[in-house]
Structure 1
Amino acid sequence: MCLDLKRTDAIATITLARPDRGNAINIELADALLAAVTACEADASVRAIVLTGAGALFCAGGDIDAFAQAGEEAPGLMRRLTGPVHAAQVRLARMRKPLVTAINGAAAGAGLGLAVMGDVAFAAASATFIGAYGAVGLSPDVGASWWLPRLVGLRQAQRLLLLGERIDAVEAERIGLVTRVVPDAQLMEAAMAVAGCLAHGSPTAFQRTRALLLDAPLADLETHLDLEVRALTACAAGPDAVEGIAAFREKRRPCFSA
């Protein structure tokens, strides 16, 4: 087994489970990740997702040993490997269910892109972050070059991806790479608590808000304001807004549809 998918009430927890290899991504894990994400997307009872790693590392990136063994076939292997991981990442970023990442240890290479993409990213105090691409003569994948400039700005992205600096969890929080640092022993408790809160939110509002945040850097102000109006009025026309407004006036907790 290279991946574990568990349900706790409305929360799905996806755990990368190759701890003996630092959860390095091989074809089996790449395919399993896409299958798990697809299953979560299709399951209306899942309202929030937690992504974490088993063992001491969150994810060491791509499986370098597999690349070495592939020899001249390495480019084809990398394309085969990144295909399902990238497809899983797009689904995680675009679906109606918010994502919490629980970064339990080192996030390197491809693991960096997965770690920081959470709507809420919790880092264990022992976690570290490194691009690690240049050291093996490769360029970024799994969205690292897309997420980092948006989260921490171009200069910090250059620091991490070109200089290859390894930073600790405190520095990651300082520059905005993660949401919060928590003691190692409290990581999953914190992640599950926040996921539980998110699971009670409006899926429609979450999906439209996530899309606005992802697409904001791509549009000028006028275009983005128009997108906001379209999203807002679409939400207002749905049952979640009716329930949310009623609950607010009645001073009760809203019960949003799946």
Structure 2
Amino acid sequence: MSAELLSSRPTGSDSTLVLTLSNPGARNALHPDMYAAGIEALESVERDPSIRAIVITGADNFFCAGGNLNRLLENRAKDPSVQAESIDLLGEWISALRLSSKPVIAAVDGAAAGAGFSLALACDLIVAAEEARFVMSYARVGLTPDGGGSWFLSQALPRQLATEVLIEGKPIGALRLHELGVVNRLAKTGSVLDAAVAWADELGKISPNSVARIKGLVAAAGSQPLADHLVAERDSFVASLHHRDGLEGISAFLEKRAPLYR
């Protein structure tokens, strides 16, 4: 069976899209076909106002084993441009996740290894099983990170700890990452997807305009001076106030009712 990215709308959920990594027999190892499908799915989501949040998970209670080492060995016999093009396509998917106007939640059961870990880190939020393991195992097989793994870890952890995780390539548990603030929520094994979808449904009730603008502000915060960020916050606030979501949110609060964003 081939590697693919499955798309579905959970039963009972009106606003959440679930993208499932599926590569039977290979612990959902990644493949360029998944990257292309992921990019296409995110482009479709941006055009669909009925989808307010996205959950990325893995089939068969396992998130993702990262790259397929057998495929990587085959690529050694090809021109280096073949592997470079594959990594560039992965990068496009990672960038699309970061630029999405909708919140993206990783639902991690089992383990997230290598680029699978990078993929989880690229999501806005992470829900993980208490027993889940995360590992950047590149150096263990003589390789270096891709998919933004070294960038995300360097942003999320102190330099010394990020270096340890990347160079040693030893698994780090979900409990530890939860303590460090990398994993947002923990769930029992087997209930991670349900917990992630329930959270996504909650987020779907929040102003889509506010969500998109806050994601943009958070993304920019690490790369601009405070003075510039204050201007960006001002412009975003004023635009939000004059957006239809601002009217609905304020009106609902004053009328003591739940807002209904369209």
Which TM-score tier does this pair reach, normalised by the shorter chain?
over 0.9
Query: Which residue matches 2:93?
Result: 88
Q: What TM-score comes out, normalization by structure 2 length?
A: 0.92
How many percent of aligned residue pairs carry the same amino acid? 34
Deviation per CA, 1:111-143: give whole Å up to 9, x if none.
111112332210112210111111122221111
Aligned 1:93-242 pairs, distance under 5 A: 93-242=98-247
Matched, 1:243 2:245: no
Which of 2, 5, 8 is residue 3 of structure 1 equivalent to? 5
Q: CA RMSD in A?
A: 1.6
SS in 1 for 2:25: helix
SS in 2 for 1:139: coil
Which of 61, 64, 67 is residue 59 of structure 1 equivalent to? 64
Give the direction of change, closer, same or farther, for the CA distance of 1:74–1:165 in structure 2 (3 Å limit). farther
> Shift of the alpha carbon at 1:56?
4.1
Distance in 2, Cα, partners of 1:117 & 1:41? 17
Is this contact kept in 2: 1:38–1:88, CA < 8 A? no
Distance in 2, Cα, partners of 1:6 & 1:134? 35
Distance in 2, Cα, partners of 1:119 & 1:28? 23
Distance in 2, Cα, partners of 1:117 & 1:235? 26
Gaps of 5+ in 2: none
> Shift of the alpha carbon at 1:184?
0.8
Which of 245, 249, 258 is residue 253 of structure 1 equivalent to? 258
Is this contact kept in 1: 2:36–2:93, CA < 8 A? no
Distance in 2, Cα, partners of 1:190 & 1:233? 34
Distance in 2, Cα, partners of 1:74 & 1:51? 32
Aligned 1:24-35 pairs, distance under 5 A: 24-35=29-40
Distance in 1, Cα, partners of 2:161 & 2:241? 38
Distance in 2, Cα, partners of 1:41 & 1:190? 24
Tell which deviates more after alignment, 186-195 or 113-122: 113-122
> Shift of the alpha carbon at 1:74?
6.2
SS in 1 for 2:9: strand
